[in-house]
Chain A
Amino acid sequence: MERSRDQGERFDDAKGLTVALRELGVVTPPPSLVPGVLVGTGLADGYWPEETAIGRVFVAYGAAGVVAVQHEEAASAFDAWFRGRFGRRAVAAPPRATLARSVRARLAGERAAPPPFDLRAVRPFQRAVLEAAATIPRGEVRPYAWIAREIGRPGAVRAVGTALAHNPVPLLMPCHRVVRADGRLGEYVFGTGAKRALLTAEGVDIAGIEQRGRTGQPLSGSDTTRIFCYPTCRHARRTAPEHLVRFASAPVARAAGYRPCLVCRPVEAG
């Protein structure tokens, strides 16, 4: 009661109320407002940080979806990288909840629909390469020649390597699951160490793959089904050790009376 009388007095005279009303106009807008407008208008892309198996990455997005993923510790370093690569600005701005959710699910390796991408800057060949890589299940790897064959360009193995090395959305489009035919991991946008860490986190037997590469037996078969596979294919991993046979190449396996797996579809050469 005491206070309400004070307030009544305060707002009683016309001037008191006018002053109080005008003071209500002095507000500080949230810092996310300007970045939100810039992203909403398309004048800038937005970005936010995520913690992953290989450390902090920044995820950049526009109105249509994710534009880039880059492995950086500091936002300032990401700003510079983004401007250099895309020739436009990115501003720190939290994404819509749905986009954040689907990106996080994908980064965590959950079986979830991929987030929407904005790959306007990506040429059709590279896009086809990335989409083929995205079909490789978590915990499995395929050689570069497999991607080339999958996209109908079996001779373009080297170009596939280049396209993967310039993947703008690593982790979300899993280019780390493509390795060399000789069992070595090969290059990676974020470095070979990161590639090893990611595949290890996904449960890939890297030592086994490297060893098979060194001994020249990159393919696995089962003497009960007479089917041959890439060794990380879920069918090959189910094969009991006593039934496991190894092959140097698809022609060798065929000559032994084996047929290629319909799931992992090993390439004829390489």
Chain B
Amino acid sequence: MSAATKVERTRITVASSDAEGAELAARLALDLDGVFEEVVVAYQSRIYGFALRLLANPADAEEIAQDAFVRAYRALQGYPVERIATLRLRPWLYQIAVNLARNRHRHRGRRPSELALVDENGRERAFPAGEGDDPMAALERAEGAAALAGTIAALPARYRAAVVLRHVEGLSYAEVAAVLDQPVGTAKANVHRGVTLLRAALAEPGR
């Protein structure tokens, strides 16, 4: 499968999940306890993946993702029905997760470690091999992905979240701005600056 096909497919998934999100929110408003698990199942990949790219550590990412969903549930318990029904679930969940990740960094003062990018077998944990890839190409892709993920994780926090939301998670600039609680212009500038830093870091000789 070509990379271009993959991106195409990802876009379609994102678009349809927005429509599903509205439908899910409407049902959630009527039956929080009955439908919340579906919300977790629907968004676990997105929220976990987002946390993984911010923190570059699978255990930390799982903890942040779990905590984000638990906090979301508690918040929803206090929301009026109309507010839940019109909630844009995906950006809202990202917002909870980004705040948790930020507080965690502040409290621990730790930097993500590159070692954490690989799983117990030494493979890049979150990177799936494409169908029909030959092994060498898959390996190169995995190495490239690990390098890219490590470089993202080393970006200053302000740019990191913006780049991940825009280019990994595929949000619009307006959505990135809403999640990060910034004017659209600022969000856009942070994404561009982040990508510039990323490209410069990747082009650095001796990497």
Contacts and interface: CB of A to CB of B under 8 A. Distances in A.
Interface of A: 1, 3-4, 6-8, 10-12, 17-30, 32-34, 36-38, 40-41, 43
Contacts, number: 122
B19 interface: no
Contacts of B41: 34
A43 B202 contact: no
Contacts of B128: 26, 28
A53 to B, nearest CB: 32
Contacts of B144: 7, 10-11, 20
Given A8-B202, A27-B48, A21 B168 contact: yes
Contact of B126 (A6, A24, A41): A24
Contacts of A27: 45, 48-49, 52, 126
Nearest to A4: B207
B69 A43 contact: no
Contact of B163 (A19, A21, A30): A21
B165 to A, nearest CB: 10
* Top 3 closest pairs, chain A to chain B, by CB: A27-B126, A29-B48, A27-B49
A33 B65 contact: yes
The dominant DSSP class at the B interface is: helix
B18 interface: no
Interface residues of B, number: 51
B45 A21 contact: no
B37 interface: yes
A27 B119 CA distance: 13
B44 interface: yes
A17 B198 CA distance: 9
Contacts of B140: 3, 6
Given A25-B168, A37-B66, A11 B148 contact: yes
A26 B10 contact: yes
A29 B65 contact: yes
15 contacts: A6-B140, A20-B144, A22-B167, A22-B170, A24-B53, A24-B148, A26-B126, A27-B48, A27-B52, A30-B58, A33-B65, A34-B44, A40-B67, A41-B73, A43-B37
Interface in B168-193: 168-170
Contacts of B199: 11, 17
A36 B37 CA distance: 11
Interface stretch (B1-9, B84-92, B95-103, B106-114): B1-9
B44 A33 contact: yes
Contacts of B127: 23-24, 26
Contact of B169 (A25, A32, A37, A40): A25
B22 to A, nearest CB: 21
A36 to B, nearest CB: 5
Nearest to B69: A37
A7 B48 contact: no
A22 B6 CA distance: 9
Interface string B1-35: 00110110010000000000000000000000100
B74 A41 contact: yes
A175 B42 CA distance: 44
Contacts of B36: 41, 43
Given A7-B147, A17-B195, A23-B127, A37 B70 contact: yes
B40 interface: yes
